[in-house]
Amino acid sequence: MAQVLYHQFPLSAEAHRTAASSSSKPMKHISVSTPQKGPLKRLQKTQKLNLEVSPHRAVSAVRLMRIELGGAFADLLNEKGKGSGENEMGYVERTLGFRTRELNDQDLRLVTDIVGGTIRWRRYIDHLISSLSHDKNIYGMEPLLLQILRIGFYEIVKLDMPHYAVVDENVKLAKVALRPGAGNMVNGILRKLVLLEENQSLPLPKVEGDDRSQARALATLYSHPVWMVRRLTKYLGQEEAIKLMMWNNSEPSYSLRVNHAKGFSRGDLVKQLTALKVSHKISLHLDEFVRIKTGLQIVIHAGLLRKGLCSVQDESAGLIVSVMDPQPGDTIVDCCAAPGGKTLYMASHLGGLGKIFAVDVNSGRLRILKETAKLHQVDGVIATIHADLRTLTDSEVLKSNKVLLDAPCSGLGVLSKRADLRWNRKLEDMEQLIKLQDELLDSASKLVNPGGVLVYSTCSIDPEENEERVTAFLARHPDFHIDPVDQYIPADFVTDRGFYSSNPVKHSLDGAFAARLVRGS
């Protein structure tokens, strides 16, 4: 199961300061008549254009509303970013009742920064809002008012923006989008926050008392769900859990994988990045990968992804493919393949010889895989199968010497990139996922020929989803045994039991896990 990446493009401190006050202009309301072509005649559409309100704050507020109330995913919204301006402004107009000027590149970077940061720090921010509001039940507020306050609080406590400009701009947004009284409320609360921030006296909890009390305090201070804090502390200890939560709240970095199938080398990519003035580092672990901290938007606009010359893929996922060890001529079954990051990488290793059967229950995601495979010119070795893996266990056609089960999981290893994932997961989900992982492992094992290998992988750092699932599987299937991964990946990633494990804090990569399980002859 490939995780969709959340594209975060951080701004410099100077850009934040400039953007904070860039829209402090006299108020203008303009009625714009935009001609549209219809089947019979030209229609006139009157739009209310507001040049007073900060465009990136208006768009950020609407995106946050769509994510929290409409079930949209932050990473998908931010992937679309550039080029979806008309659609984006349509959402703003329907939600707020007016349009702003179109977003420029700096606006777009601010939107992704503010939306991602506000979501990451939501529990921390909500604690502060509740502490400074007369009504402590802030979730009873109008949804738009709450989002405006969250934006203002994030900008004041986490971004290097002039406080006076942040207050002024968010008050304007509340007054125009809601009513004058809402603006007055935002003004009063944000001014309280500014005073406390400048005096370094924010009302934050202390980490003290029993384990539950400490977990609640840590959950607020580092903005994670309480159940997740308790789970991380249980397995890692408090000190390491704090380090991991700090990593999850930091700006994510990305890796680009070159597509050799198009004759594009890492050297070619390095030349392109240098020409685009995108800072980069060569991967220490994989020959096809280059790391970038900022500048992904520049890479996207340059068309490198659109042309299929490279793709965004974390090295932790690439190392899972190394554990799989695809070779020319192999027949491979990828059990939960879509949207296909690992499938495509494995296909590039086949050199046009062999076959990958990509199985997935989601037809829409399989369609994306097929389109991307064609773009990357590896579609000749990929066959897609739309089905639930658990219904394919009697299929002789899919019997193979190499089977990959990249299982649906909690995603606890990718929280730095998936800003909203921590709030969409519940403790009950873990029980359901573990049951599903066991079922999928049992089904995948039936596709492995005698002497063949089954690779089980996740993008989680949770032992119950990783090591414990393998232990339980081996107890049910004594004909399988562990094949240590040390001959496939660097020793720094190999556990005592011979599994692959990447640690976000230790390796500066997403968290991931893989085990090679060989079936007896």
Contact in structure between 397 and 391 (CB atoms under 8 Å): no
Residue whose C-alpha is closest to residue 2's, from 411, 430, 397, 289? 411
Beta bridge partners of 480: 519
**Residue 244: other Cβ atoms inside 10 A:** 23
Say how far apart CA 159 and CA 359 lie, in whole Å.
44
DSSP track, 18-46: HHHHTT-----EEEEEEEEE-SSSEEEEE
Token pair for 203: 């009302």
Q: Is 453 helix (H, G, I), strand (E, B) or coil?
A: strand
Q: Is 131 helix (H, G, I), strand (E, B) or coil?
A: helix
Q: Kind and range of the H or E element at 115?
A: helix 105-120
Q: Is 331 helix (H, G, I), strand (E, B) or coil?
A: strand
What is the three-state SS of 65-101? Answer: HHHHHHCCCHHHHHHHCCCCHHHHHHHHHHHHCCECC
Say how far apart CA 44 and CA 49 lie, in whole Å.
15
**CA 75 remoteness from chain centre:** 5
User: Exactly one of 310, 335, 336, 459 is catalytic; which is it?
Assistant: 459
**CA 133 remoteness from chain centre:** 32
**Residue 213: other Cβ atoms inside 10 A:** 13
Q: Which residues contact 55 (CB under 8 A, 6 or more apart)?
A: 23, 100, 101, 102, 103, 107
Q: Which residues contact 375 (CB under 8 A, 6 or more apart)?
A: 307, 308
409 noted as active-site residue: no
Task: Assess whether the previous peptide bond of 328 is cis (omega < 30° from 0).
Answer: no
Residues with catalytic roles: 459
